[in-house]
Amino acid sequence: MSDMGKDIAEISENYSSSVHDENDDRTLFNRVKDSFKRQDLDISEETKLRSQNMTEYQRTNYLLAKQPYQKNLSQRHLTMIAIGGTLGTGLFIGIGWSLASGPGNLLIGFLLTGIAIFCVVQCAAEMSCQYPVSGSYASHVSRFVDPSWGFTVATNYCLSWAISFPSELIGCAMTISYWNNTVNPVVWVAIFWVFIVGLNLFGVRGFAETEYVLSIFKIIAIIIFIIIGIVLICGGGPNSQGYIGAKYWYDPGSFKKPVFKSLCNTFVSAAFSFGGTELVVLTAAESRKVESVSRAAKGTFWRVIIFYVSTVIIIGCLVPYNDERLLGGNSSEDITASPFVIALANTGSFGTRVSNFMNAVILIAVLSVCNSCVYAASRVIQSLGASGQLPSICGYVDRKGRPLFGIFVVALFGLLSFIVASNKVSEVFDWLFALCSISAMFIWFSICLSYLRYRWALKKQGRTPDEIAYKSMLGIWGAYLGALLSGLLIVGEVYVSLFPLGGSPNAEAFFQYCLSIPIMIVVYVVHKIYTRNWLPIVIPLSEVDLDTGLSHSDVEVMKHELEIQRAQIAAKPLYYRIYRFWC
């Protein structure tokens, strides 16, 4: 390992201390005004000279590792973001479309997608703990696979979050209209737009504290729903319909025919529901300890088992898949199409009261996702600007560690939510989402591919996995499995797009599901033409940069610290060792 790692660590420490050396005698207004000024990197003359000897590829990796974000995220923030940060309309409303394919297909579809996302998050967590750079896995794809591929992943990922922002804002307005439809939804959209953008202007701490509180509410609500659901299934509760059990799994049945096509149909909403689970890994550059990211990533397992698998089983027992209300919604924001609301409304007056509670939970969940949209998209925009793949203004980070230009761009996207006043809102968003329809699955596959190439590069360059600070729970085989399942999910979605369930093949339906495929190809080719970087197609394993931006500057010290940590855990009781393995 070169001495550059030590130099970079020194620079980082000097920068962290210099941020707080401002004159505190200024007025509050001046302090706030100055906080929006650009924070430049504090790089010594020696390191500047050293950086001139870097290749453009190494220089980009270096700059991404040294972006002036504030490391304010603690373990509790990351744990809650990992477990409940992106539980939103995908789970609370979107699974209604999948349930219409049958509870058996719903369960299998969510299990396959859940296994894939757990593999993906573990891969992303290992790389982010090793290289906590701006843009995280989007930047890792450029680093370990190919810059053009990485640019395609980053722009697609950013676009999917940016488009989700106005959609979720409309979801907030529609949720409130469930109680009161006399107020123009544009009013609610405006209020929530100001609220969410304002939150993100408080910096990463504002985002994290909000997510922490909202995630607690969502987690408690889902646990309450699971308990109520079990009681209702067993025949308890007021206005009970008697013992329900697995009645709806037999009549109308577990699988809607044709079975395989119905199964593929669940992949769309399953990917939408799990989309954003990888968000916790994006926080690595702003976390106090990279170990926190690794531990938080383990929470994905519990999220899959408790909040998705358990929920879809209960939903499948309480709502028959042929219930017309599941497909009766006009859009993904239509609360009446939520199987949660349908399941509880079926129990009479008790259900009406509880469904109001669930509606409030859905509002909280949608607000949380809005918050995540601005955070995720703005960070990826900043990383593209910092790496030179977008104009340098996109890489603007102020003295409080806020990617201001990125937040501004996402806020502009949010203004699309004002088309809620139009009767064409559903049609418009159908085509906007078509721009990034397969993005989640494509990004998952790319994360696994970049992880595999990272591990292959270690082996090719004669280095060992002992250099890795925090390894994936599933290792390299988890990456193979994640890539395989992500690829199968893409194939399944393309298949159901070509041959839609209950309809005949048509170009409009296909492009609404798969328009992102030709767009990604065009983005990739245009980037190749612009950079003139046609060969090699991917970065040779022998040339992959494994040193720049490491989270640890001395491998031997890192190994010693890990040995001490393992010894401390081994000395604890069995229950604690089990807890630390899974959490």
Instruction: Say which residue the tokens 């612009």 belong to.
Output: 530
Q: What is the DSSP string of 346-412?
A: TTTHHHHHHHHHHHHHHHHHHHHHHHHHHHHHHHHHHHHHHTTSS-GGGG--BTTS--HHHHHHHHH
Amino acid occupying residue 471:
K
Q: What is the DSSP string of 288-341?
A: S-HHHHHHHHHHHHHIIIIIIIIHHHHHHHHS-TT-GGGG--SSTT-GGG-HHH
What is the chain's length? 583
Q: What share of the chain is helix, strand, coil (3-state, %, to 5)?
A: 70, 0, 30
* pLDDT confidence of residue 11: 38
Distance set, CA 82 to CA 121, 222, 288, 322 (Å): 10, 15, 16, 34
* pLDDT confidence of residue 7: 41
* pLDDT confidence of residue 581: 76
Count of CB atoms within 10 A of residue 11's CB?
17
Q: What is the Cα–Cα distance from 515 to 132, expressed in whole angstroms?
A: 32
Asked if residues 340 and 224 have their Cβ atoms less than 8 Å apart, the reply is no
* pLDDT confidence of residue 18: 41
* pLDDT confidence of residue 45: 43
Region at 278 (left for phi over 0; alpha for psi -120 to 50; beta for the rest):
alpha
Sign of CA dihedral 152, 155, 158, 163: negative
Q: What is the Cα–Cα distance from 145 to 441, expressed in whole angstroms?
A: 17
Q: What is the Cα–Cα distance from 196 to 373, expressed in whole angstroms?
A: 10
Instruction: Count Cβ atoms within 10 A of the Cβ of residue 542 and give its class: 0-12 exposed, 13-18 middle, 19 or more buried.
Output: exposed
Amino acid occupying residue 141:
V
Reported as a single tens digit per residue, the pLDDT across 202-224 is: 888 888 888 888 888 888 888 88
Structure-token pair, residue 217: 């509410």
Structure-token pair, residue 415: 């203004």
Asked if residues 381 and 411 have their Cβ atoms less than 8 Å apart, the reply is no
* pLDDT confidence of residue 177: 79
∠ CA 145-149-150 to the nearest 5 degrees?
80
Q: What is the Cα–Cα distance from 461 to 382, expressed in whole angstroms?
A: 31
| pLDDT beneath 50: ranges in the chain | 1-23, 45-46, 49, 329-333
Q: How far out from the chain centre does Cα 110 lie?
A: 16
pTM: 0.88
Instruction: Count Cβ atoms within 10 A of the Cβ of residue 424 and give its class: 0-12 exposed, 13-18 middle, 19 or more buried.
Output: exposed
Asked if residues 367 and 349 have their Cβ atoms less than 8 Å apart, the reply is no
Structure-token pair, residue 577: 């060792």
Structural domains for the chain: 73-536 (1.20.1740.10)
Asked if residues 439 and 157 have their Cβ atoms less than 8 Å apart, the reply is yes
Structure-token pair, residue 543: 């040339």
* pLDDT confidence of residue 299: 76
* pLDDT confidence of residue 347: 61
Region at 87 (left for phi over 0; alpha for psi -120 to 50; beta for the rest):
beta
Distance set, CA 35 to CA 63, 376, 498 (Å): 22, 21, 52
Amino acid occupying residue 448:
C
The C-alpha R_g of the chain, in whole angstroms, comes to 24
Q: Please state at what angle helix 259-274 crosses helix 103-130, rounded to 10 degrees.
A: 40
Structure-token pair, residue 171: 């979801």
